[in-house]
Structure 1
Amino acid sequence: MDGFLNLHKPAGLTSHDCVARVRRSLKLKRVGHGGTLDPAATGVLPIALGRATRLLQFLRQDKAYRAIARFGLTTTTDDLEGEILAQTPAAHLTRDQIEALLPKFLGTIQQVPPAYSAIQIGGQRLYDLARAGVAVDVPVRTVEVYQIDLLDWRPGDFPEAELAIACGAGTYIRSIARDLGNLLGTGGTLANLIRTQSHGFDLADSLTLEDLAAQAEAGIFEPIPAAIALAHLPALTLAPPDALRWTQGQPIATDPVTDLDAPLRVHDSCNKFLGIGKFRATQQGICLVPWVVLAGQMD
């Protein structure tokens, strides 16, 4: 079985836990995921099945979330899973104050990831270092936030803002909640997170683990074909002789349809998906060379 699964991850499971559950339901060894979600978060978790695990790197990288930031509270993990560091009522905050600051988080921004995150420093995960009490200077990251909107404002001693955020890979929503609270002078932490889009998959089309298990038991589960999951990439169709040569690892001299070294989908004349190729300068001139070959067996 090869292809993708748009999984609706439940709260309380790690992304690795979800992979293990998918393996059991589908009786499949080769399963991987894209875009790790924290255990408390829910929503879209893209899952690759079989040889499609080799294609995870080519999926779209944009993501979207619905997040609830709570103010007047800071924690060790920048969400409600951590220990409380400070707690001071912030009933004076208003919706207008939140909306005035949101543009500061739009576009290309600098962000310090949470101390409890999967980023590696010196070969060790930050969350392992944090749990061991090792003080580490977390490196600043440059990330992209395409859109950030205030969906709802809930006043109170510890008011909450519900946000819709569309962003690029590597963006930490926990950091946005923390930094927004810091700008307000009240502190802030992430109270809830749902990923509504990831790598081209949408929450509305996702399957729960229970849905998957039921479909697998009934023998009706169908993975999302790789060519559909990678539809954002440009495509090139090869005639039969060239298609065979390409799947055997040979470069094909043809006019480029993308920039050099950019990924594109390669199909044969029957529209079978052969894999991912790229154009490179060779001794024969500009040629289409294999990047990931799937031997024409994935539709």
Structure 2
Amino acid sequence: MNGILAIEKPSGIASTKFLDKLQNVLTFSEVFENDLKAMKDLKKKQLMTDTKWSQQKIDTRVKNLKIKMGHGGTLDPLASGILIVGIGSGTKKLQHYLTGCNKTYETKALLGISTTTGDSEGEILTKNSVDHITKDQIEETVEKFVGDIKQTPPIFSALKMNGKPLYDYAREGKPLPRAIKARDVKVYDIKVFSEDSLSLEHGFEKLVSQLDDNGKPKEHQLANNPTLNDSPLFFSSQYLEKIGLSQEEVPKIDTHIFSSEDSADPLPPILPLLHLTADVSSGTYIRSLVSDFGRALGSSAYMVELIRVKQSNWELGKNVFKMEDFTERDPRIWGPILMKVFKDGDSVNLEEEFRNFTEKLGPLFEKEAEGKEETAEDDKKGQEEGEAVATAVPSKRSIEDVE
């Protein structure tokens, strides 16, 4: 049981916690029983050669062993979709998924607000006009980002500078020791869901301004923090070549920023939606892409939903497991299918495999269930008969008591 699989992570849970749950489910399943025993035997043999380990510590360490597991790129808690997982020796094959494969994301964003994190979990940075944006403008903006492009990673990311997380500089309002180095990424394609463009019927609530100690919106301080607002807006080299300008020659776009000192909220209660899919290279930040797309529209945008629908040849609805496949299905069904995925990789159609196995083994499981029910009924009947006999025939002690 060694190999690569893909599983769908739901929104609202960190990737590490989700993988911990998966690791526990597989570790304590009968499918991995032999593998786990072999692991424990080997580990016990290795520890026994080290004199610093007492027998009690060895037993505890071996008892707590779980199957080996790694990932091919995590998702933020807000995001859902594909997680590539390596099991056992399959963890050695994860590097390709971390650095060398394409990914496709479906994302939704609200126009008119920028945030510290680029998504709905951050604080408001700026509020920007949305009245001027048209559907045609959204479609025309796509080509500005398709191709080879530089991208500045979000300040609220896992990156560090001089050993300190970037977001610590932002929270403290301190300037960075140096500018965040833009990375080269590739955007292969962007498709806009035209029917959703600028829609107000989406169910996503607009972020509310947080007030500081003086009762003023926090964005009037955050908007003036250069650490949060000095990232350049890059367009693709293919677009720049088409318009015959260099990056430095592109006219600055007016983003129609509303004054953060205003007490009244200048934006409508429901913000217009931006809905698109993006096929990108590894290392691309969708939060940054969404934010830059909003800026290119002369406004701003923050992400409210993100789904990784494809990674390499793994695709939702095709060859990607769900947690329920392991927790709610019989191990005698998912075990052989998982083994087939380990052997044949992303070519396995999971829906078809689950249907075939269920059709073949379903009657057997029903027969087993009937047998268990009959046994349970016989046991219950025997117990009831025994109780009836015990009630009808007094014990020797009760007879003596009567006499």
Q: Same fold (TM over 0.5)?
A: yes
Q: State the shift of 1:125 in Å.
A: 4.0
Structure with more relative contact order (C-alpha pairs < 8 Å, separation 6 or more): 2
Task: Assess if the C-alpha contact under 8 Å between 2:326 and 2:334 holds in 1.
Answer: no
Shift of 1:73: 0.6
CA distance in 1, matches of 2:167, 2:16: 16
| Counterpart amino acid of residue 161 in structure 2 | I
Where 1:220 maps in the other structure, the secondary structure is: helix
Structure 1 residues 198, 122: CA separation in 2 closer, same or farther (over 3 Å shift)? Answer: farther
Alignment CA distance shift 1:45-1:39 (3 Å):
same
Compare 177-186 and 148-157 and name the one that shifted more. Answer: 148-157
Spell out, residue by residue over 1:56-106, the C-alpha distance to the aligned partner (whole angstroms, 9 max, x if none): 013461100111122101100000010112234513311111111110110
Counterpart in 1 of 2:198? 154
Answer yes or no: is the 8 Å Cα contact 2:4–2:345 preserved in 1. Answer: no
Match of 1:186 among 281, 290, 299: 299
C-alpha offsets along residues 243-291 of structure 1, whole Å, 9 cap, x if unaligned?
xxxxxxxxxxxxxxxxxxxxxxxxxxxxxxxxxxxxxxxxxxxxxxxxx
**Distance in 1 separating the partners of 2:281 and 2:114:** 25
TM-score (norm 2): 0.53
The yes-or-no answer on 1:95 pairing with 2:212 is no
C-alpha distance in 2 between matches for 1:125 and 1:69: 26
Query: Counterpart of 2:147?
Result: 107
The answer for the alignment partner of 1:54 in structure 2 is 92
TM (normalized to structure 1)?
0.70
User: Are residues 220 and 109 of structure 1, via their aligned partners in 2, closer, same or farther at CA, if it must alter by over 3 Å?
Assistant: same
Which structure's residues are more often strand, by fraction? 1
**Equivalences for 1:107-256 in 2 at 5 Å?**
107-127=147-167, 130=170, 135-136=175-176, 137-152=179-194, 153-156=197-200, 157=268, 158-204=271-317, 205-215=319-329, 220-221=334-335, 222-223=338-339, 224-225=341-342, 228-229=345-346
1:258 corresponding residue in structure 2: none
Aligned mates of 1:34, 1:125 — CA distance in 2: 22
Unaligned runs of 5+ in 2: 28-65, 201-267, 349-403
The aligned amino acid for 1:126 is L
* Paired position in structure 2 for 1:13: 13
Q: CA offset at residue 147 of structure 1?
A: 0.6
Q: Over aligned residue pairs, what C-alpha RMSD do you find?
A: 2.4
Distance across 2 between alignment mates of 1:149 and 1:121: 35
**Is the CA contact (8 Å cut-off) linking 1:93 and 1:159 kept in structure 2?**
no
Seen in structure 2, the aligned counterparts of structure 1 residues 69 and 33 have a Cα distance that, compared at 3 Å, is same
Change (3 A) 1:48 1:133: farther
Which stretches in structure 1 are left out of the alignment for 5+ residues?
Answer: 232-299
Q: How far is 1:192 from its partner? A: 1.1
CA distance in 2, matches of 1:115, 1:40: 17
The answer on whether the counterparts of 1:64 and 1:164 sit within 8 Å (CA) in structure 2 is yes
Q: CA 1:162/1:16 → structure 2, altered by over 3 Å: closer, same or farther?
A: same
Structure with greater Cα Rg: 2
SS at structure 2 position matched to 1:225 = helix
CA contact 1:11–1:40 (8 Å) conserved in 2: yes
